[in-house]
Structure 1
Amino acid sequence: MADISYRIELAQPHTHYFDITLTVPAPAAVQELSLPSWIPGSYLLREFARHLSGMKASQGSRDVAVEQLDKSRWQVRCSGRQALVVRYRVYAFDSSVRTAFLDAQRGFFNGTSLCLRVHGREQASHGIEFGVLPAGWQIASAMPNPAPGSYLAADYDELLDHPFELGQFWQGSFEAGGATHAVVVSGAWPGFDGERLLRDAQKICAAQIEFWHGPAAKRVEALPFGRYVFLLNCVDEGYGGLEHRASTALIAPRRNLPRLGQAETSDGYVQLLGLISHEYFHTWNVKRMKPAEFMRLDYAQENYTELLWFFEGFTSYYDDLMLVRSGLIDETRYLKLLAATVSGVLATPGRMVQSLAQASFDAWTKYYRPDENTPNATISYYGKGALLALALDLSLRSGSGGAGPVSSLDALMRGLWQQSQGGGIDESQIMALLADLGGPELSREAAHWVHGTGDLPLPFLLERFGVQWSSDKPTLAQRLGLRVSESAVAGVQIKQVLADSLAQQAGLSPGDELLACNGWRLRRLEDALLSLAPQQLKLRLLIARDQRVLELSLDLPALSAASKVAGAAVLLSPADKAAVRVTALRRAWLAA
């Protein structure tokens, strides 16, 4: 039986309220309570307490006053050691993986949204018990389940690290590495091919378990979990995931699910498999091995680190790489996915402004709060972090780091895992092991890549592996330095203007509506090229800004075969005539 217990009621799910009863045996004379302000893995203060209301407390038959101390803390002055009972409600209508949701069809929550922290009792066991659920509803979670409807966590940290899915959902399971893996899918269409999803997820999990722990015949350490749960919520539009110690919460478009009778692998399904791969890799890389600063989390305020380029960026490198290594996609498709990451980073002027270390530290104020100037001032530690991992992997594999032997990023990751024993690491440990594997020069260069703002030498490195680098024909938006939205009703709306671009020089601004070009009405930006007479390169743009109609013009440089346009998509493909050694290097990298 748990020391601290929460009873969760869903009496009227259509109102979107969870009703919670917290019971604290033998409370302190002045018992402090609080709700986390953020959830680990999502680096933004979300102020979950804003959805909490109606808090009341009692001891036996006597009501006890509750005093609010700040935005997320309360205190109760107790009389004697009789159990303190606190009742409150939480509004839940956010379908993301980070918070809580409840309606007549489905429920979901993270403990950070529902479960008050009992100060001074964090190390005690914490239990969750559910009241009567709607007819036909089930419960899914990786939290230990000693009795039907009852769940038990060893302490408050563990309580927060097990999300719950409630409702009528599809579920299946498979074995990988000696552990049971459950897959729960909510909101799927009737034609969803669950067996295929299980088979493909099993391949990903088996490949990653072998990556971290070696083949089963040589495995000397136990997996960090005995049971793992994928909680997938399928929606019309939405994408993302959040890692936990023995589970992950995922959200994806239901059209991305595999369908019965369809053998092809759609781009949407590859995206879903990449999401599964990414969050599962986090089981080791951030949930166990983590920034030293995260060894003891403060749920009330920001927890800073400069290492998200490693824990998120390197995970982003391995997510799609594990798909090709497990045989779910071929190398051509993998290089297409990799090229999309390269293109996204090179199309972001902020990569020349913000380093990876700075991007990691600023996640709390910049990454999760994007605006119209974000691409000019910041870089994604996911995207560029993945390319840093690629650069290091190719350098290690080709022996370009100096005196060190030919190695791999795989060896670096496994070495850090062994050194940390699933605990905290810092940048000095990463760089020291990198020097051992690839030489001091590579370690120094890596530090420069992390703390500098220059581009990575990817064309040169990829050429060593027989990967050809080329550029696609740029769109007009790329030539102008614009990011726009288009619709037949609203026309062309400017969302972002990239720094030092033609559009910025011409005076275009975010929020402008492009009405016409050279006297022709615009519904699509690309149609502006159709308004040009032969040899004409001047664009006379009619725009609407804050109810005013303005005319701006710019000269579009001629586009030749040798032109290089910032933001133009990069294409990667296996070279037609790669040397035998180069081909072997590429196969070793992708098959590892």
Structure 2
Amino acid sequence: MTTRARPAPAARTGRAREPAQATPAPVHYDVRAASLHGHRFAVQITIDRPAAVQRVSLPAWIPGSYLIREFARHLQPLQATQGRTACACVQIDKASWDIECDPRRPLVLRYEVYAFDNSVRTAWLDAERGFFNGTSLLLRVHGHERQPHELTVHPVRQRRDWQLATAMAPVAVDAQGFGRYRAADYDELVDHPVEMGTLWSGTFTAAGVPHRFVVAGAPAAFDGERLLRDTQKICETAIRFWHGARRPPHDRYLFMLNVVHEGYGGLEHHASTALICGRADLPRHDAPADAARVGDGYVTLLGLISHEYFHTWNVKRLRPAEFERYDYQSENYTRLLWFFEGFTSYYDDLLLRRAGLLDDAGYLKLLTKTANQVLQAPGRQVQSVAQASFDAWLRYYRPDENTPNSTVSYYTKGALVALCFDLTLRHETEHTLDDAMRALWRRCRGGPMTEGDFAAVMAELGGRSFAREIADWVHGTAELPLKALLESQGVKALEEPSQLAQTLGLRVAENGGITLKVVLDGGPAAEAGMAAGDEWLGVELPAARTKGSATHTAGWRLTRLDELPLFAGKARRVVALVARDKRLLRLPMVLPEKSTTWRLAPKNGSDAHPWPGR
């Protein structure tokens, strides 16, 4: 394991999937920074043998993020030439063009792309950093998608200190990583994001495979050595999970982390991942060395790394049959995201435990959080995880104030479904969900799979049909048998008082006042008639008789939700004073006596058991 102030030449990141070749590819892309302050990349495409009417298009979405994002809205005028002859570009829809040309001569396309989305999904360019996914920048040349593609990224003239990192196979690159890269086809080309900037860089080897980690925007206190050590443990644990002592299917891997003030997210790729986190989540030189005492933010970052690395197998290779070939122009529907995202969410934290980066208490704390996220959302009784998977294009990336009431997360409930299958196998057989995952890998040869494949593997390992569980847990909305299954493994679900907001059925924002963000169905706030967007100004108590005087009503101004018990006292009936669209409303409310939430803990005196450590 080593770290360097400057990155190794790109060729050292691992063996190329396809041997470097001097022969030019039929489609070649040149990318330059056109304007750092204007946030624009310039792209030139050379098509060696175009069609007489050559169609090109820009993807509308990026695999792994299931929302039509309309990347073409950032593409600035497309121009086409053959030598000095201009060719007509006719736009035929929102993201496609036809170009009339001479098929005997190379066709050159030129355009610019505005890049100012500081996420893992699109593209970014300013004076400090550059980043892009091919789906945001690189037009697809129809009819040539399965031929080799080359990409040349030129050094940034204004920033000679910048380096470039990508997992794409290098052909001819300089010491800082700029130069020419090659991909077997268009799918591979756009599955290798590119990071540019003044990067912290480190390397390690896991199961004989070279891994590189680059970080943009790290502060001075960043402990890169610890991040490398912990990430190496995650990678080695994941590789052992899938392959034991055998080598994994990838021969190199690259982590790209963008550090910002506040942010969180990741997107998986074939041999790399793009990550984003807040500066406070990074490991620091002054942090405790004990893995069990690291901060919650760093644990969250490690869980993100574990999640995206697990996707190297579970969605990038073993994947829904519907994703065997991507349609980049429209939605690609599947009902299996509960498996590919949910099961990955189950294993991301579990592998942290197995890697020694969490103890049992830390793992159960994370599992408690997942369970409560599902149990506190009324939408779990409305939508199944299979339907949530299908509706991802409509709902998951477009949350609103009614989302918790109408939908369920295929990430969180999918993780609990995985837990239920795992604990059922452990309780009834000598097998585990680990065995099922590896059996699926073998059955589907690390490629497309269906729900039927999962059902067949579970039946084989379990010695019985799991059709009822799949119907109830995956396609139904009944409560999962979490308590009984956890107790079978020595874990008890303790009922503890929930936070006041959850007791009232609210999610609020507090900044000198109380603004309702979400009103949960069936809660006291919903029964009182409160609505998202209301400002909760105060509370009135029932009329009371005081000594020597008539009855009177007490009213109190609320600036924080936790002031309500102070002012309400033992009263169970109050009147909430709210402002809605500049109108003042008096809403009678019945306050519940109590509400509970879960806390998972080992049963007192329980014997040692193999879960979650094995």
| Residues 41 and 243, structure 1, Cα contact 8 Å, conserved in 2 | yes
State which of 381, 391, 408 in structure 2 corresponds to 1:362.
Answer: 391
State which of 403, 406, 417 in structure 2 corresponds to 1:388.
Answer: 417
| Residues 26 and 49, structure 2, Cα contact 8 Å, conserved in 1 | no
Which deviates the most, 263-272 or 438-447? 438-447
Q: What is the alpha-carbon distance in structure 2 between the residues aligned to residue 261 and residue 493 of structure 1?
A: 38
- Deviation digits for residues 374-398 of structure 1 (CA, Å, limit 9, x no counterpart): 1111000000000000011011011
CA shift, 1:531, in A, is 1.0
5+ residue gaps, structure 1, are: 400-404, 560-564
State which of 472, 483, 507 in structure 2 corresponds to 1:459.
Answer: 483
Which residue is equivalent to 2:4? none
TM-score, with structure 2 as normaliser: 0.91
State which of 360, 373, 395 in structure 2 corresponds to 1:331.
Answer: 360
CA shift, 1:549, in A, is 1.2
Query: Per the alignment, in what secondary structure is the counterpart of residue 299 of structure 2?
Result: helix
Q: What is the alpha-carbon distance in structure 2 between the residues aligned to residue 96 and residue 495 of structure 1?
A: 24
Which deviates the most, 536-545 or 249-258? 536-545
| Residues 536 and 578, structure 2, Cα contact 8 Å, conserved in 1 | yes
Work out whether 1:301 is the aligned partner of 2:324. Answer: no
Which deviates the most, 454-463 or 518-527? 518-527
CA shift, 1:574, in A, is 1.1
- Deviation digits for residues 260-306 of structure 1 (CA, Å, limit 9, x no counterpart): 13224111000000000000000000000001111011000000110
Query: Per the alignment, in what secondary structure is the counterpart of residue 145 of structure 1?
Result: strand
CA shift, 1:207, in A, is 0.5
State which of 166, 170, 173 in structure 2 corresponds to 1:141.
Answer: 166
Work out whether 1:8 is the aligned partner of 2:35. Answer: no
Q: Which amino acid aligns with 2:367?
A: L
Q: What is the alpha-carbon distance in structure 2 between the residues aligned to residue 77 and residue 321 of structure 1?
A: 55
Q: What is the alpha-carbon distance in structure 1 between the residues aligned to residue 103 and residue 270 of structure 2?
A: 37
Work out whether 1:277 is the aligned partner of 2:313. Answer: no
Which deviates the most, 408-417 or 473-482? 473-482
| Residues 434 and 443, structure 1, Cα contact 8 Å, conserved in 2 | no
Q: What is the alpha-carbon distance in structure 1 between the residues aligned to residue 362 and residue 103 of structure 2?
A: 67
Q: What is the alpha-carbon distance in structure 2 between the residues aligned to residue 80 and residue 208 of structure 1?
A: 49
Work out whether 1:507 is the aligned partner of 2:529. Answer: yes
**How many residue pairs get matched?**
566
| Residues 340 and 569, structure 1, Cα contact 8 Å, conserved in 2 | no
**Counterparts in 2 of 1:67-106, with a 5 A limit?**
67-106=90-129
CA shift, 1:498, in A, is 0.8
Q: What is the alpha-carbon distance in structure 1 between the residues aligned to residue 485 and residue 411 of structure 2?
A: 20
Q: Which amino acid aligns with 2:274?
A: A
Which residue is equivalent to 1:569? 597
Q: Which amino acid aligns with 1:202?
A: Q
Work out whether 1:54 is the aligned partner of 2:77. Answer: yes
| Residues 56 and 139, structure 2, Cα contact 8 Å, conserved in 1 | yes
Which deviates the most, 289-298 or 261-270? 261-270
Percentage of pairs with the same residue: 55
Which residue is equivalent to 1:195? 225
5+ residue gaps, structure 2, are: 1-23, 174-178, 541-554
Work out whether 1:412 is the aligned partner of 2:436. Answer: yes
CA shift, 1:225, in A, is 1.1
Query: Per the alignment, in what secondary structure is the counterpart of residue 170 of structure 2?
Result: coil
Which residue is equivalent to 1:257? 282
Query: Per the alignment, in what secondary structure is the counterpart of residue 145 of structure 2?
Result: coil
State which of 49, 56, 66 in structure 2 corresponds to 1:33.
Answer: 56
Query: Per the alignment, in what secondary structure is the counterpart of residue 515 of structure 2?
Result: strand
Q: What is the alpha-carbon distance in structure 1 between the residues aligned to residue 213 and residue 422 of structure 2?
A: 32
Runs of 4+ in 1 over 2 A off after TM superposition: 439-444
Q: Which amino acid aligns with 1:569?
A: T
Q: Which amino acid aligns with 2:277?
A: A
State which of 514, 524, 529 in structure 1 corresponds to 2:565.
Answer: 529
| Residues 58 and 86, structure 1, Cα contact 8 Å, conserved in 2 | yes
CA shift, 1:541, in A, is 1.2
Work out whether 1:181 is the aligned partner of 2:211. Answer: yes
- Deviation digits for residues 296-355 of structure 1 (CA, Å, limit 9, x no counterpart): 110000001100000000000000000000101100110000000000000110100101
Q: Which amino acid aligns with 1:572?
A: L
Query: Per the alignment, in what secondary structure is the counterpart of residue 440 of structure 1?
Result: coil
Which residue is equivalent to 1:495? 517
Work out whether 1:548 is the aligned partner of 2:583. Answer: yes
Work out whether 1:311 is the aligned partner of 2:346. Answer: no
State which of 527, 534, 538 in structure 2 corresponds to 1:516.
Answer: 538
Which residue is equivalent to 1:234? 259
CA shift, 1:26, in A, is 1.7
Q: Which amino acid aligns with 1:552?
A: L
CA shift, 1:105, in A, is 0.2
State which of 191, 195, 199 in structure 2 corresponds to 1:165.
Answer: 195
Q: Which amino acid aligns with 1:143?
A: M
Query: Per the alignment, in what secondary structure is the counterpart of residue 173 of structure 1?
Result: strand
Work out whether 1:340 is the aligned partner of 2:369. Answer: yes
Q: Which amino acid aligns with 2:498?
A: P
Q: What is the alpha-carbon distance in structure 1 between the residues aligned to residue 384 and residue 263 of structure 2?
A: 29
Q: Which amino acid aligns with 2:556?
A: W
Query: Per the alignment, in what secondary structure is the counterpart of residue 435 of structure 1?
Result: helix
Which deviates the most, 313-322 or 468-477? 468-477
Q: What is the alpha-carbon distance in structure 2 between the residues aligned to residue 312 and residue 325 of structure 1?
A: 20
Which residue is equivalent to 1:402? none
Which residue is equivalent to 1:154? 184
CA shift, 1:441, in A, is 4.5
- Deviation digits for residues 111-142 of structure 1 (CA, Å, limit 9, x no counterpart): 00000000000011111112231220100000
Query: Per the alignment, in what secondary structure is the counterpart of residue 569 of structure 1?
Result: strand
Q: What is the alpha-carbon distance in structure 1 between the residues aligned to residue 613 and residue 592 of structure 2?
A: 44
Q: What is the alpha-carbon distance in structure 1 between the residues aligned to residue 235 and residue 162 of structure 2?
A: 28
CA shift, 1:542, in A, is 1.1
Alignment RMSD (CA, Å): 1.1
Q: What is the alpha-carbon distance in structure 1 between the residues aligned to residue 469 and residue 77 of structure 2?
A: 56
